[in-house]
Amino acid sequence: MELLNIKNLDLAGKKVFIRCDFNVPMDEFGNISDDRRIRSALSTINYCLDQDCAVILASHLGRPDGQVVAKYSLVPVARRLQHLLKREVLLAKDVIGEDAIFNASELKPGGVLILENLRYEEGETENDKELSEKLASMADFYINDAFGVSHRAHSSVEGITHFFDEKHKAAGFLLQKEIEFLGKIIQKPVRPFAAIIGGSKVSGKLEALINLLPRVDKVLIGGGMAFTFLKKLGYNIGASLVEDDLLDEAGRIMDEAKKLGVKFYLPVDLVVAEKFSEDSISKLVSAQEMPDGWMGLDIGPATVRLYREVLNDVQTVLWNGPMGVYEMDKFARGSNKIAHFVADSYATTIVGGGDTADLVQRIGVDDEMTFISTGGGASLELLEGKILPGVASLMAKGS
């Protein structure tokens, strides 16, 4: 598959719209806790600025669901970007309102404008044509550098591409790099290939798991994900995170794994707590001895030992989703120990998803990983073999 390449565009002195993924994690004080996604977009932005382009940047942040919600404003992103680019970054007051349209039309070569949170507009996630057209009308060229949302057919990702011909749109350097790297892994992963899947977005990840099964040799489950499986197996899971309507789906995944000969591992012990809180009483129990009303918030030391053993001979590791509530020190040990082990291994290690990337960065092993993808859902869908809508619309004709 051949992506339209930014280097083939005649950008000099023109206005360029770049869809970025600035959906960065924030701490409880509203500070950006990991600016990897912003830094990752700098190559494309600087490439355009070096060619005297006027650059219009657009991103979503969080889920304001079509409303203007102050805590999801891109103000902190614009400030960080200004610091990183070492030049003025103007933040529009809206997305396609008077202020954005006026500032976009007045933007001079070398200028940088960032639109407000795209998801302040209801139409963004609905791939609304009118919104796409208004966004497209701001610039001569369209660049998608937002790998993290390329699996979504949204206005600024998919719809907008229909307003530019092949000479006026392309993938940015980040998108290109992600697609190239993950594409190679899909075509020829060095085996054994293990997927470590954790976190809390059970519904999204179960579908990914079923599609991943034919491609991997081992699956290791952790985090909130585990309890839907454990419950299906008849374990008492207390008050742990669970999606009851997905129990059958979880059963189907375990059956399918058995049929395909994929080794499927679940936690054998857990750190459990009475409340979802750092200062809750907690204890260590076997997965079969969950006390009523308690919740599992991390994998235990026996699971860590088991998972290390299982990962020992693996040549490729895909890791998406933490093993526990890593944001609270008390429930971070399982994730931290697995992170150190994966980082130390000689396997090709791919970390996907904002939280998992944040986790490996917090403990300083990010540089030890082979590849940190800026997109969790997007990298999973790509590795499942799906064509991402934001990528499909940037393929050269005939590829």
Residues at the site binding ligand AMP, with contacts judged by CB under 6 A: 199-201, 223-224, 241, 296-297, 321-322, 324-327, 353, 355
201 assigned to active site: yes
Whose CB is nearest to ligand AMP? Answer: 199
Q: Which of 19, 134, 177, 201 is catalytic?
A: 201
Cβ-contact 272, 238 below 8 angstroms: yes
Q: Which of 37, 119, 333, 337 is catalytic?
A: 37
Contacts of 52 (CB under 8 A, 6+ apart): 12, 13, 109, 110
Peptide bond into 189 cis (omega under 30): no
Q: How far apart are CA 394 and CA 373, in angstroms?
A: 19
308 assigned to active site: no
Tell me how far, at minimum, the Cβ of 268 lies from ligand AMP, in Å.
15
Tell me how far, at minimum, the Cβ of 322 lies from ligand AMP, in Å.
5
Torsion, Cα 148 154 158 162, to 10 degrees, reads -150
**DSSP reduced 3-state for 268:** coil
Tell me how far, at minimum, the Cβ of 87 lies from ligand AMP, in Å.
33
Q: How far apart are CA 136 and CA 156, in angstroms?
A: 8
Tell me how far, at minimum, the Cβ of 217 lies from ligand AMP, in Å.
22
375 assigned to active site: no
Tell me how far, at minimum, the Cβ of 60 lies from ligand AMP, in Å.
16
Q: How far apart are CA 137 and CA 126, in angstroms?
A: 19
Q: Which of 148, 159, 377, 390 is catalytic?
A: 377
User: Smaller CB distance to ligand AMP: residue 146 or 237?
Assistant: 237
User: Smaller CB distance to ligand AMP: residue 127 or 379?
Assistant: 379
Which residue pairs from 254-258 have beta carbons closer than 8 angstroms and sit at least 24 positions apart in sequence?
254/229, 256/210, 256/213, 257/213, 257/219
User: Smaller CB distance to ligand AMP: residue 324 or 389?
Assistant: 324
Q: Which of 159, 224, 354, 375 is catalytic?
A: 354
37 assigned to active site: yes
Q: Which residues are catalytic?
A: 37, 201, 354, 377
